[in-house]
């Protein structure tokens, strides 16, 4: 750091010393000037006195001085007794010697007789005085001869003064008067003064210096303290900047990691770590770019697991998830390194096959994928068998856009499923028409309730022995203004897929209950009306509550209602028992629909709280044609009897079928032979008329 004190002390000391020196010198100069002037004045006064009183005596001596020898001159001077006179005049004064010179510089008189006759022609003092200007000079003499004796160590001022005289009114210089004055005492006193003054000046300046030094030193201390504080602050700031930088670096890398993680999550399926739909689309778009440049081909394989939902429903989601990860590993092992496998939905995978070179490669890979499913999957020591359906679309023949290729592979996959699952299918143009129709149907169905295109038809159930009406089955009908009559087998699965079935199911329940009440009012008593339930309605869990409300509002008692649930739905439901028990607790009847198609065991059946088994119409159709169907029907009737359940044969079309069923002891029949599903008014008209006939016959 800049040493202020040192620089200041050096510089100010030099300046103060210089100032002290200059002041002392100046003071000394003034003092001596004054002394010289003062003594010169005295010498001039003395000369004046001499001119007035002694010059007339001395003048004749002067006039002969040119020619006289020094001895003669001394004698002449002695004659005028000048020495004594001057000695008297100067007694008590500082004058110690007097010389008188002629205009030529010859000493005509001196109080020191040895000097008489000396020439001072070239002396500057003499020359100045002879030209009219008196002059003085201070000198120090080790020895000096005076009037009386010789003095030692003297400070002497010698003054040359012109001697004037007036002749005929003209002033002229006749000679030069030299006066020596002893100023030793003055000089000593002046020197003494000078010492005191110098000491005073030095003291004042030293005090000033000291004061300034203290001030500067104090300032330096303050500056040092501030510098130290500044340095500490800087240091602290540096440290904090370093810490903050470190923190920031950490934050940035953390954020970077989080961003990477987010990016990964945004593009991957968390369960299988496979690319998700988003990343798949990006990859497909890049692949399409490549085939555009290199004129190659690629294929998109849409893989959907068959009945995967059943696994989730019966074994739980945890096992479903494990199964999915195992399947993923198998699929990954099968595809080539450059190809992309992605998971785009619950049980939907999609695969990009690069550089296929044609359909043969795509088909080969699809077959390999399907082959993977032949081996069972082991989850929690359980051996699970699963198959998949694969739809294939190809670029460029089926299109060059991501969405188009995915949609077409999806449509092809649906076709594979429709063809019986566990197979692959290439996309064909006809599929687009089907897919478009599905989309159209979906849109129209949503408006079907509000635009009154839906209605409930009723098909009678008849007592085998008496032919009396025992009940009816409510069957939904959709007469679309745009597409005409659409069978429930086409729109019910669609409504289930889209979730619209909830709204639809509620509507049917309300309509049916309302109709029972209307018939009651009209005098037609239909003992039990059965309504088909979809799996979605059962899963929702609020069905008992819903039914209770509807029955309360329409005034229908629970024993008038029967709920038909297909055997396969019950088999697939995880908590089927609890659900059915809740419904049964309401007091409504439960029927197992399409019995014989769901492989339920006898022990399982026994536990179900159902009251009716509806033998699937597929077996009834075989009566009279197929012995094994007849045997199955017989077994089913026996089972229902042994379980104390009533049996209903569905789809009875011929008298032969009816006769066979009657022989077996089947209790109820339902089929075209006894009546097709018809509107409520038709049903009422027919069965009220029938009641009249029975009464008449009875």
Contact set with ligand C2E (CB under 6 A) = 459, 475-476, 487-489, 492, 508, 532-534, 564, 593-594, 617, 650-653, 671-672, 677
The span from the CA of 517 to the CA of 527, in Å, is 12
Provide the minimum distance between the beta carbon of 395 and Mg ion in the complex, in angstroms, as a whole number. 44
What's phi and psi for 165, nearest 5 deg?
-145, 155
Provide the minimum distance between the beta carbon of 473 and ligand C2E in the complex, in angstroms, as a whole number. 6
3-state secondary structure at position 384:
strand
Residues 6+ apart with CB under 8 A from 582: 543, 544
Provide the minimum distance between the beta carbon of 475 and ligand C2E in the complex, in angstroms, as a whole number. 4
For residue 628, what are its two tokens?
A: 């094994």
- Please pick, from the candidates 272, 532, 611, 657, the single residue that binds Mg ion as defined by CB under 5 A: 532
Question: Residue 348 binds what, of Mg ion, ligand C2E, none (CB under 5 to 8 Å, by partner type)?
Answer: none
Torsion, Cα of 542, 543, 549, 551 (10° steps): -170
Provide the minimum distance between the beta carbon of 572 and ligand C2E in the complex, in angstroms, as a whole number. 15
Residues 6+ apart with CB under 8 A from 479: 453, 455, 485, 486
Near Mg ion by CB under 5 A, which window of 238-246, 484-492, 513-521, 585-593? 585-593
The span from the CA of 254 to the CA of 546, in Å, is 52
Question: Residue 488 binds what, of Mg ion, ligand C2E, none (CB under 5 to 8 Å, by partner type)?
Answer: ligand C2E
Provide the minimum distance between the beta carbon of 670 and ligand C2E in the complex, in angstroms, as a whole number. 6
Residues 6+ apart with CB under 8 A from 647: 612, 613, 614, 615, 636, 637, 640, 641, 666, 667, 668
3-state secondary structure at position 484:
strand
Given the complex with ligand C2E, which of 111 and 512 has the nearer CB atom?
Answer: 512
Provide the minimum distance between the beta carbon of 360 and ligand C2E in the complex, in angstroms, as a whole number. 41
Task: Report whether 368 contacts 341 (CB < 8 A).
Answer: no
594 is a site residue for Mg ion (CB under 5 A): yes
Residues 6+ apart with CB under 8 A from 498: 442, 445
Given the complex with ligand C2E, which of 534 and 554 has the nearer CB atom?
Answer: 534
- The label of the residue with tokens 């200041």 reads 8
Given the complex with ligand C2E, which of 202 and 556 has the nearer CB atom?
Answer: 556
Question: Residue 459 binds what, of ligand C2E, Mg ion, none (CB under 5 to 8 Å, by partner type)?
Answer: ligand C2E
Side-chain half-sphere of 440: how many Cα atoms within 13 Å? 11
Give the total of residues touching Mg ion (CB under 5 A).
5
Given the complex with Mg ion, which of 8 and 595 has the nearer CB atom?
Answer: 595
| Angle CA 432–269–423, to nearest 5 | 40
Q: Quick one: which of 270, 287, 269 has its CA closest to 278?
A: 269
3-state secondary structure at position 11:
helix
Given the complex with ligand C2E, which of 112 and 650 has the nearer CB atom?
Answer: 650
Given the complex with ligand C2E, which of 31 and 670 has the nearer CB atom?
Answer: 670
Question: Residue 182 binds what, of ligand C2E, Mg ion, none (CB under 5 to 8 Å, by partner type)?
Answer: none
Print burial letters for 361-375: b (CB count within 10 Å at least 16), e (below 16). bbbebbeebbeebee
Provide the minimum distance between the beta carbon of 535 and ligand C2E in the complex, in angstroms, as a whole number. 9
The span from the CA of 245 to the CA of 242, in Å, is 5
Question: Residue 102 binds what, of ligand C2E, Mg ion, none (CB under 5 to 8 Å, by partner type)?
Answer: none
Provide the minimum distance between the beta carbon of 454 and ligand C2E in the complex, in angstroms, as a whole number. 9
Based on the number of CB atoms within 10 Å of its own CB, is 425 exposed (0-12), middle (13-18) or buried (19 or more)?
A: buried
Question: Residue 105 binds what, of Mg ion, ligand C2E, none (CB under 5 to 8 Å, by partner type)?
Answer: none
Question: Residue 492 binds what, of ligand C2E, Mg ion, none (CB under 5 to 8 Å, by partner type)?
Answer: ligand C2E
Near Mg ion by CB under 5 A, which window of 141-149, 430-438, 528-536, 636-644? 528-536
Interface mask (CB under 5 A) for Mg ion, residues 549-578, using x and -? Answer: ---------------x--------------
Dmax of the chain from CA atoms?
Answer: 217
Provide the minimum distance between the beta carbon of 513 and ligand C2E in the complex, in angstroms, as a whole number. 13
Given the complex with ligand C2E, which of 338 and 487 has the nearer CB atom?
Answer: 487
Question: Residue 645 binds what, of Mg ion, ligand C2E, none (CB under 5 to 8 Å, by partner type)?
Answer: none
Residues that bind Mg ion (CB under 5 A): 532, 564, 593-594, 650
């Amino acid at each position: 750091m800049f040493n202020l004190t040192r620089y200041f002390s050096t510089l100010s000391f030099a300046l103060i010393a210089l100032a002290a020196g200059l002041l002392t010198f100046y003071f000394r100069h003034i003092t001596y000037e004054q002394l010289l002037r003062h003594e010169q004045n005295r010498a001039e006064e003395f000369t004046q006195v001499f001119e007035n009183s002694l010059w007339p005596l001395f003048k004749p001596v002067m006039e002969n001085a040119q020619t006289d020898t020094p001895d003669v001159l001394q004698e002449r001077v002695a004659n005028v007794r000048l020495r004594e006179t001057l000695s008297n005049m100067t007694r008590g004064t500082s004058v110690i010697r007097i010389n008188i010179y002629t205009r030529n510089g010859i000493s005509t008189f001196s109080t020191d007789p040895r000097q008489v006759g000396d020439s001072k022609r070239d002396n500057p003092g003499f020359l100045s005085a002879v030209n009219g200007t008196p002059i003085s000079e201070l000198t120090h003499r080790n020895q000096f001869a005076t009037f009386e004796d010789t003095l030692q160590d003297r400070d002497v001022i010698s003054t040359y003064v012109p001697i004037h005289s007036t002749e005929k009114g003209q002033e002229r210089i006749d000679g030069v008067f030299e006066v020596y004055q002893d100023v030793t005492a003055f000089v000593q006193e002046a020197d003494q003064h000078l010492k005191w003054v110098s000491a005073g000046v030095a003291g004042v300046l030293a005090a000033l210096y000291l004061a300034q030094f203290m001030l500067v030193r104090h300032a330096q201390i303050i500056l040092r303290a501030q510098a130290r504080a500044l340095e500490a602050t800087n240091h602290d700031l540096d440290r904090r900047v370093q810490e903050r930088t470190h923190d920031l670096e950490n934050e940035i890398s953390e954020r970077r990691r989080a961003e990477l993680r987010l990016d990964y999550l945004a593009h991957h399926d968390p369960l299988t770590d496979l690319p998700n739909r988003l990343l798949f689309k990006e990859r497909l778009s890049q692949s399409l770019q490549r085939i555009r440049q290199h004129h190659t081909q690629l294929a998109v394989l849409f893989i959907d697991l068959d009945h995967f939902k059943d696994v989730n429903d019966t074994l739980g989601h945890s096992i479903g998830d494990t199964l999915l990860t195992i399947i993923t590993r198998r699929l990954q092992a099968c595809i080539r390194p450059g190809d992309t496998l992605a998971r785009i939905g619950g049980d939907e995978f999609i695969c990009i096959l690069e550089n296929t070179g044609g359909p043969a490669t795509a088909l080969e890979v699809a077959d390999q994928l399907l082959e993977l499913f032949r081996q069972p999957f082991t989850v929690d020591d359980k051996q699970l068998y699963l198959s998949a359906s694969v739809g294939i679309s190809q670029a460029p023949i089926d299109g060059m856009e991501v969405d188009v290729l995915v949609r077409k592979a999806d449509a092809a996959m649906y076709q594979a499923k429709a063809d019986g699952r566990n197979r692959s299918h290439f996309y064909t143009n006809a599929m687009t028409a089907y897919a478009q129709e599905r989309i159209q149907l979906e849109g129209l169905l949503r408006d079907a309730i509000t635009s009154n295109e839906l209605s409930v038809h009723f098909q009678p159930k008849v007592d085998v022995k008496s032919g009396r009406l025992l009940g009816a089955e409510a069957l939904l009908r959709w007469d679309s203004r745009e597409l005409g009559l659409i069978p429930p087998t086409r729109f019910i699965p669609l409504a289930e897929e889209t979730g619209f079935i909830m709204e639809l199911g509620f509507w049917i329940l309300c309509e049916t209950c309302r109709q029972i009440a209307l018939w009651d009012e009209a005098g037609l008593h239909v003992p039990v009306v059965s309504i088909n339930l979809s799996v979605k309605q059962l899963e929702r869990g609020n069905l008992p509550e819903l039914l209770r409300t509807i029955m309360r509002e329409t005034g229908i008692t629970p024993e008038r209602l029967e709920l038909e649930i297909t055997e396969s739905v019950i088999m697939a439901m995880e908590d089927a028992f609890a659900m059915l028990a809740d419904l049964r607790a309401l007091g409504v009847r439960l029927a197992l629909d399409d019995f014989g198609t769901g492989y339920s065991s006898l022990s399982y059946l026994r536990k179900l709280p159902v009251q009716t088994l509806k033998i699937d119409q597929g077996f009834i159709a075989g009566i009279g044609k197929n012995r094994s169907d007849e045997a199955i029907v017989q077994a089913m009737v026996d089972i229902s009897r042994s379980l104390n359940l009533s049996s209903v044969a569905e789809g009875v079309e011929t008298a032969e079928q009816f006769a066979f069923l009657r022989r077996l002891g089947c209790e109820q029949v339902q089929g075209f032979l006894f009546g097709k599903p018809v509107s409520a008014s038709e049903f009422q008209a027919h069965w009220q008329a029938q009641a009249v006939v029975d009464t008449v016959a009875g």
